[in-house]
Amino acid sequence: MLTDGFGRRHTYLRIAVTDRCNLRCVYCMPAVDFRWRPRPEILSLEEIVRIAGLMVGLGIEKVRLTGGEPTVRDNIEWLVAKLARLPGLKTLGMTTNGARLREKAHALRAAGLQALNVSLDTLRPNRFIEITKRDRLADVLAGIDTAIDAGFRPLKINVVVLKGVNDDELCDFAQLARAKPVNVRFIEFMPFTGNGWQRERVVPWSTAKSIIEEHHALTPRANGSSDVARDFDLPDAAGWISFISPLTAQFCGGCNRVRLTADGAIKSCLLRGAEVSLRDALRAGAGEDTLAELVRSALAGKDFAHPPECDLAEVENRCMTAIGG
């Protein structure tokens, strides 16, 4: 079992399979001084399978593939197929920007991917270009429909809410959740190295909810889907909406997550810089016991909670593309 110093059992592993991306979201990727890590620094797919297998053996039950953009990693379907067959793994998911889903959704589903989250912050073409620096909204929307068709239900749609950028589209996204079998999840804007975070740009979840309630009646959803989201039903809706509030109502107390970065480091907290590298030990021929000890040491150093909001912008951390959310 993987437990930290506070007795929290860790069952959820998020794996960044690459730090590369086909979009350039302004809130995620630093505008300056950004470079992809050289390929030799990145774990091979076989190395990822080995570490994931080790960690599933230690009690991980759910794995989510992320990035960078996971669908730009060559042979991602091969990786999905390998991980899906790990004995003991109960759920295999992916978070993607959706731009390649039209080509990939069916193959990923066939390979064994069970759950899919698509990140989409605007439904307006020009705004999409402003936020992502790429003209791919039509691809993402087509990718969402393909993924629903491929059987990813409910498909989750992650919306980072930025004041003055897309907070006038909250009701449009609520409408999307009424029209399609999707769970739209509104997420508070978090600070990471180089992402231009300012407190004034955060829309607290309670404010986002009030804005939506001016036009849509919201009812707390029975049997909420996760411990980090507050789920709400809308009248006559095919889907539902959720709010995720890492800043204004942190959920660290029940944290069960651990992260593997694309270059092979275990990160025990998304919003802290501490990490323990497995890659060099792995490449030097370390056995399972040594690697397991490294994973345990990362969790032993895990703090109970992330720093208070007033200190977050000062934390030395990787940028989000290198962590994977």
Q: Give the interface with ligand SAM as residue ranges (CB under 6 A).
A: 21, 27-28, 66-67, 69, 95-97, 119, 158, 160, 187, 189-190, 192, 195, 320-321, 324-325
CB 118 within 8 A of CB 98: yes
Nearer to ligand SAM, 53 or 70 (CB): 70
Closest CA to 184 of 197, 198, 169: 169
User: According to the 3-state scheme, what is the secondary structure of 197-227?
Assistant: CCHHHECCHHHHHHHHHCCCCCEECCCCCCC
Q: Which two tokens stand for residue 249?
A: 């109502």
Shortest Å distance, C-beta 67 to ligand SAM: 5
d(CA 144, CA 157): 9
Assess 30 for contact with ligand SF4 (CB under 6 A).
no
Shortest Å distance, C-beta 198 to ligand SF4: 18
Q: Which two tokens stand for residue 190?
A: 């978090």
Nearer to ligand SAM, 96 or 261 (CB): 96
Prior bond of 246 cis (ω within 30°): no
Position among 29, 56, 120, 182 found at the interface with ligand SF4 (CB under 6 A): 29
Shortest Å distance, C-beta 27 to ligand SAM: 4
- Which of ligand SF4, ligand SAM, none does 24 bind, CB closer than 5 to 8 A by kind? ligand SF4
Nearer to ligand SAM, 12 or 192 (CB): 192
Longest dimension (CA), the chain: 59
Contacts of ligand SF4 in 78-97 (CB under 6 A): 97
Alpha-helix residue ranges (DSSP H) falling in 98-183:
101-111, 125-132, 137-150, 170-179
Specify the amino acid at residue 182: V
Assess 68 for contact with ligand SF4 (CB under 6 A).
yes
Q: Which residues pair with 243 in a beta bridge?
A: 186, 230
How many alpha carbons fall within 13 Å on the CB side of residue 31?
9
Nearer to ligand SAM, 96 or 242 (CB): 96
Nearer to ligand SAM, 264 or 324 (CB): 324
Shortest Å distance, C-beta 23 to ligand SF4: 4
Shortest Å distance, C-beta 19 to ligand SF4: 8
Helix, strand or coil for residue 230?
strand
CB 302 within 8 A of CB 270: no
Shortest Å distance, C-beta 283 to ligand SAM: 25
Q: Which residue is nearest to ligand SAM (CB)?
A: 325
Shortest Å distance, C-beta 87 to ligand SF4: 31
CB 101 within 8 A of CB 145: no
Contacts of ligand SF4 in 7-26 (CB under 6 A): 21, 23-25
- Which of ligand SF4, ligand SAM, none does 190 bind, CB closer than 5 to 8 A by kind? ligand SAM
Count of positions on this chain that bind ligand SF4 (CB under 6 A): 13
Q: Which two tokens stand for residue 57?
A: 């053996």
How many alpha carbons fall within 13 Å on the CB side of residue 118?
28
Nearer to ligand SF4, 53 or 70 (CB): 70
Contacts to ligand SF4 by CB under 6 A? 21, 23-25, 28-29, 67-69, 97, 119, 320-321
